[in-house]
């Protein structure tokens, strides 16, 4: 064998050895190595990273491939809401929600159930013509049936969604058929019914504009959770929807103040309008805020791709319309992998 050939075969042997090592690394992902997907990276700290998914897009292979590859949790975007799932009284349309749930379970993903009691996307038969007693029994039956159907399959339920008003004194609830007929106690009734329906699932209160630690709406939800904990009303988690233009500077303190009440905090519907490095930086700060609080157990972005976002004009998600990773994706992945410790987020005292 010529010197040239000896060198070439030596180089090949080295290359083969290197590929073997790299393959072993890729398969075992030893401690300290960076994970290559959002779900795997989040799992390193015991967290999940999910996406809202719509059954109507499951026929699109790039959509499903991206969901499966990157995320280890899911929230059905609309399919489990009262209107879509119980369109006429006592008659349930499980198909689209089951499609998402079955797929998620086959991949070992966590499922967030969204949502049992919400003033919006109600079926037409739930309305102000019902008596209080009738509405109450409809609500409790709905909770029993839906939670019963998914018993053992769901990680956390958004039991009540968006019950607080955007203005008014601290603690003001949104005017809805529920407050009109059942009074402010409907939230507690719903949580008690939910615990009875499935004692083994996490029960969350979920809302938007409760991301700023000191906002009046945040104070209202904070006081409710504190009151529930003090009186033994079952509640396990608070969902911060987090539909952002710019995340508040005291977001981490906000997560910490809810966690200090003895509940988990989940970022449930994250999306941030913008593009490029500004958007990436905002996503980075949000991810750092969750990683800084041990009871912040997971993050869900409100969609897989910009093109199907409810606010697609803001291009608020981690994948563009062609499923390309955006700078925001890399920023999130880096933080989930332990990149750089959170800087102080400043602003906002934690009130009790």
Name the one residue in this structure whose structure tokens are 């995320």: 71
- Cβ(32)–Cβ(40) below 8 Å: no
Give the residue with the Cβ less far from ligand G3I, 154 or 291.
154
57 near ligand G3I, judged by CB under 6 A: no
- Residue of 77, 86, 198, 306 interacting with ligand G3I (CB under 6 A): 77
- Interface pick for ligand G3I out of 78, 93, 99, 214 (rule CB under 6 A): 78
Q: How many CA atoms lie within 13 A of 74 on its CB side?
A: 29
Q: How many residues does the chain have?
A: 352
> 241 — alpha (psi -120 to 50), left (phi > 0) or beta?
alpha
**Two structure tokens written together for 53:** 């998914």
Q: How far is the CB of 186 from ligand G3I (least distance, A)?
A: 18
- Expressed in angstroms, the distance from the first to the final Cα of the chain is 80
Q: Determine contact, residues 113/158, Cβ cutoff 8 Å.
A: yes
266 near ligand G3I (CB under 6 A): no
| Contact status: 269 vs ligand G3I (CB under 6 A) | yes
Report yes or no: 192 and 234 within 8 Å, Cβ to Cβ.
yes
What is the contact mask toward ligand G3I in residues 192 to 221, using x (rule: CB under 6 A)? ----------------x-------------
Q: Which is nearer to ligand G3I, 77 or 86 (CB)?
A: 77
Phi-psi region of 236 (alpha: psi -120 to 50; beta: other; left: phi over 0): alpha
Nearer to ligand G3I, 91 or 349 (CB): 91
Residue nearest to ligand G3I according to CB distances in the complex:
310
Least separation in angstroms between CB 87 and ligand G3I: 11
Scored b (16 or more CB within 10 A) or e, 255-277 reads: bbbbbebebbbbbbbbbbbbeee
Q: Looking at the annotation, which residues are catalytic?
A: 162, 269
Count of residues in contact with ligand G3I, rule CB under 6 A:
9
Q: Does 310 bind ligand G3I (CB under 6 A)?
A: yes
The sign one gets for the Cα dihedral 310, 123, 159, 120 is positive
Quote the least distance from Cβ 82 to ligand G3I, whole Å: 11
45 binds ligand G3I (CB under 6 A): no
* Separation of alpha carbons 73 and 325, rounded Å: 18
DSSP per residue, 51-87: EEE-GGGTT-HHHHHHHHHH-SEEEESSTTSHHHH-S
Nearest approach in angstroms of CB 83 to ligand G3I is 9
306 binds ligand G3I (CB under 6 A): no
Under the binding rule (CB under 6 A), the answer on residue 87 touching ligand G3I is no
Question: Which residues 159-198 are close enough to bind ligand G3I by CB under 6 A?
Answer: 161
Shorter beta-carbon distance to ligand G3I: residue 40 or 71: 71
By CB under 6 A, the residues from 94 to 123 that bind ligand G3I are 120-121
Q: Contact positions toward ligand G3I, by CB under 6 A?
A: 77-78, 120-121, 161, 208, 241, 269, 310
């Amino acid at each position: 064998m010529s010197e040239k050939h000896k060198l070439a075969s030596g180089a090949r042997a080295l290359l083969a050895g290197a590929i073997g090592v790299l393959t072993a690394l890729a398969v075992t992902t030893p401690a300290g190595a960076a994970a290559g997907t959002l779900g795997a990276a989040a799992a390193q700290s015991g967290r999940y990273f999910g996406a809202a998914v719509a059954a109507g897009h499951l026929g699109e292979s790039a959509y499903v491939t991206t969901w499966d590859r990157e995320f280890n949790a899911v929230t059905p975007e609309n399919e489990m809401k009262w209107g879509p799932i119980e369109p006429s009284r006592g008659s349930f349309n499980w198909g689209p929600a089951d499609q998402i749930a079955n797929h998620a379970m086959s991949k070992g993903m966590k499922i967030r159930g969204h949502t049992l009691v919400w003033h919006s996307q109600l079926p037409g038969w739930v309305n102000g013509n019902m008596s209080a007693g009738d509405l109450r029994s409809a609500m409790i039956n709905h909770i029993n049936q839906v939670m019963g159907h998914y018993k053992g399959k769901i990680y956390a339920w958004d039991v009540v969604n968006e019950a607080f008003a955007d203005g008014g004194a601290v603690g003001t609830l949104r005017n809805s058929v529920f407050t009109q007929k059942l009074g402010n106690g409907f939230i507690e009734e719903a949580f008690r019914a939910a615990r009875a329906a499935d004692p083994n699932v996490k029960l969350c209160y979920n809302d938007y504009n409760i991301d700023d630690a000191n906002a009046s709406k945040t104070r209202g939800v904070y006081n409710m959770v504190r009151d529930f904990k003090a009186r033994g009303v079952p509640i396990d988690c608070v969902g911060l929807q987090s539909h952002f233009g710019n995340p508040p500077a005291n977001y981490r303190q906000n997560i910490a103040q809810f966690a200090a009440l003895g509940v988990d905090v989940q970022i449930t519907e994250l999306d941030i309008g913008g593009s490029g490095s500004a958007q990436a930086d905002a996503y980075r700060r949000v991810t750092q805020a969750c990683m800084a609080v041990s009871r912040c157990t997971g993050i869900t972005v409100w969609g897989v791709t910009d093109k199907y976002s409810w606010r697609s004009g803001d291009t608020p998600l981690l994948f563009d319309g062609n499923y390309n990773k955006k700078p925001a994706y890399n920023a999130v992945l880096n933080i989930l992998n332990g990149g750089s410790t959170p800087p102080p987020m400043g602003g906002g005292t934690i009130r009790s």
